């Protein structure tokens, strides 16, 4: 287990955010790309890597798997294999982060074996890895679940047609796992119902630069022709669209005037459209957007796979709609149980009821500061957003969740006018 320091955010609400703030590299793109370094011969460089707990954990997992992980002065990572005999990703690390399961595919493809602990991560409902295993088994892997580990062998993976659709849509990490495994498989692999997310596309860009033969990226049908080996590359991680959306919402709820720099507007189309519908003034630039608050009104939101509204922005948008005029309905189609933040928002004066996979949000004139507890990464972000908008002081506890996905968030928000500081948590809760 990692030693997690007990800390909290103390937020003095009611401050209008103004100025510019820059988005970091995407965590959900960085983790699969880091895992893909298992596949290459030689050392690759990965640029725009965010300094996050999850990235640190993935680096430690890869070191356990025989990779050298070097942090360079420009903030990038240099990664390459130094020992190809190691195939075990230990429970103590994998249990901290679901994204670590994406080492399974590359281990099978490059080393013919893998022993990966079943993953942990945020508590946001059931997230089985059955589609990952289904895809790898279809390629010829023998897989068992034993003592909390996925134990897999494959003398040679073979290309085939694989359908990766699930009850709640395509699987992002499952697509990444099968995509990576297929690059070194014998023959052609076709992934139907593949995830289209920008993070999958970023991984494919890395693999193609390394010598993989991949077509259909960004569509629901990806075709991979196996090659014998992959070379090291220099790769750029895309901007984090979830962090960008969080910062946009923060600007809106404080009636601010915030320019969010280093974004990909094409990755945020659904979010921009919804914010404008609610009443937020959003002006897009080539790689930035200006967000100005206004009179916000209720809306209907449904989370969907890309290019829809991301599930990872649902909690933050709920905070925004909690102070919008009228009654909003938020329906969660990706993780139907992702509503643990409702109780904490209600502690701050919100009026939200859960009805099955939906939340009914009755807008209130204002939120009030309170002591609240973060249950997961995006719930933590929603509580910070709510605290910025609230009257009085908000204490957000268990912010180690937040540090998994947002780099030095309190310092960056302070730079645009927030009154927020990190303190030791005395656990008087």
Residue-by-residue DSSP string for 262-300 = S--GGGSHHHHHHHHHHT-EEEE-SSEEEEE----B--E
Q: Which residue has the higher pLDDT, 97 or 145?
A: 145
**Model pLDDT, residue 311:** 95
Give the model's confidence band at 6: pLDDT under 50 very low, under 70 low, under 90 confident, else very high.
Answer: confident
Work out the percent of the chain whose per-residue pLDDT is above 70.
96
Stretch 177-194: mean pLDDT: 98
Q: Please report how many Cα atoms fall inside a 13 Å half-sphere around the Cα of residue 82, on the Cβ side.
A: 10
CA distances from 222 to 183, 228, 424 (A): 12, 19, 48
**Model pLDDT, residue 40:** 96
Asked, colleague to colleague, whether 7-24+239-424 and 27-236 share their fold, the answer is: yes
Phi, psi dihedrals of residue 319, rounded to the nearest 5°: -60, -40
Stretch 42-60: mean pLDDT: 95
Superfamily name with CATH number, domain 27-236: Enolpyruvate transferase domain (3.65.10.10)
Backbone dihedral region for residue 56 (phi beyond 0: left; psi -120 to 50: alpha; all else: beta) = alpha
**Model pLDDT, residue 120:** 55
Mean pLDDT of all residues in the chain?
94
**Model pLDDT, residue 118:** 85
**Model pLDDT, residue 122:** 44
Catalytic (active site) residue 64: no
**Model pLDDT, residue 335:** 86
**Residue 66 buriedness (CB in 10 A; 0-12 / 13-18 / 19+):** middle
**Model pLDDT, residue 427:** 61
- pLDDT tens across 236-293, in order? 999 999 999 999 999 999 999 999 999 999 999 999 999 999 999 999 999 999 999 9
Q: Which of 37, 122, 235, 289 is catalytic?
A: 122
239: DSSP letter: B
pLDDT for 124 beyond 90: no
Residue pair 217/287 in contact (Cβ under 8 Å)? The answer is no
Locate the domains of the chain by residue range. 7-24+239-424, 27-236
Q: Which residue has the higher pLDDT, 241 or 427?
A: 241
- pLDDT tens across 316-355, in order? 999 999 999 999 999 999 988 889 999 999 999 999 999 9
Closest CA to 307 of 183, 196, 182, 158: 196
Taking each continuous run of H as one helix and of E as one strand, the counts in the chain are 14, 26
Closest CA to 168 of 311, 35, 327, 57: 311
**Model pLDDT, residue 121:** 45
**Model pLDDT, residue 259:** 98
Residue pair 364/322 in contact (Cβ under 8 Å)? The answer is yes
pLDDT for 99 beyond 80: no
Distance CA 8, CA 14 (A): 19
**Model pLDDT, residue 286:** 97
Helix (H, G, I), strand (E, B), or coil: what is residue 48? Answer: coil
pLDDT for 370 beyond 90: yes
pLDDT for 168 beyond 90: no
Helix H or strand E segment including 100: none
| Contacts (Cβ under 8 Å, ≥6 apart) of 146 | none
Domain 7-24+239-424, CATH among 2.30.30.40, 3.65.10.10, 3.90.1150.10, 3.40.50.300 = 3.65.10.10
């Amino acid at each position: 287990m990692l030693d997690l320091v007990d800390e909290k955010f103390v937020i003095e609400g009611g401050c209008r955010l103004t100025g510019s703030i820059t988005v970091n590299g995407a965590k959900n793109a960085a983790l699969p790309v880091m895992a893909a370094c298992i596949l290459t011969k030689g050392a690759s460089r990965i640029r725009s890597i965010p300094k996050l707990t999850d990235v640190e954990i993935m680096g430690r997992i890869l070191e356990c798997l025989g990779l050298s992980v070097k942090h360079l002065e420009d903030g990038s990572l240099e990664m390459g294999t130094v020992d190809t005999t190691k195939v075990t990703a230990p429970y103590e690390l994998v249990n901290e982060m679901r994204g670590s399961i994406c080492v399974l595919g590359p281990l099978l493809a490059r080393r013919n074996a893998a022993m990966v602990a079943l993953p942990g991560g945020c508590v946001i409902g059931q997230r089985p890895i059955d589609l990952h295993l289904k895809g790898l088994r279809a390629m010829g892997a023998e897989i068992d679940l034993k003592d909390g580990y996925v134990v897999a062998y494959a003398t040679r993976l073979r290309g085939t047609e694989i359908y990766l659709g699930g009850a709640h849509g395509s699987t992002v990490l499952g697509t990444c796992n099968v995509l990576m495994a297929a690059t070194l498989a014998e023959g052609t692999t076709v992934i139907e119902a593949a995830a289209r997310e920008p993070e999958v596309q970023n991984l494919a860009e890395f693999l193609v630069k390394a010598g993989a033969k991949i077509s259909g990226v960004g569509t629901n049908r990806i075709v991979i022709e196996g090659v014998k080996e992959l070379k090291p590359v220099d790769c750029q991680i895309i901007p984090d669209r979830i962090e960008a959306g969080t910062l946009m919402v923060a600007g809106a709820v404080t009636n601010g005037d915030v320019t969010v720099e280093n974004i990909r507007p094409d990755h945020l189309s659904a979010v921009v459209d919804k914010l404008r519908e609610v009443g937020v003034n959003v002006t897009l630039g080539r790689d930035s957007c200006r967000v100005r608050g206004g009179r916000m009104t209720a809306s209907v939101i449904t989370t969907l796979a890309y290019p829809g509204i991301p599930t990872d922005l649902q909690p933050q948008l709920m905070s925004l709609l909690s102070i919008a005029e009228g009654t909003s309905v938020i329906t969660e189609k990706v993780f139907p149980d992702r509503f643990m933040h409702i109780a904490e928002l209600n502690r701050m004066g919100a009026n939200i009821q859960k009805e099955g996979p939906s939340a009914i949000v009755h807008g209130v004139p204002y939120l009030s500061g309170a002591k609240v507890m973060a249950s997961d990464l995006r719930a933590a972000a929603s509580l910070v957003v709510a605290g910025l908008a609230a009257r009085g002081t908000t204490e957000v506890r268990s912010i180690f969740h937040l540090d998994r996905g947002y780099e030095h968030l309190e310092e960056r928000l302070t730079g645009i006018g927030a009154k927020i500081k990190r303190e030791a948590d005395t656990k008087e809760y």
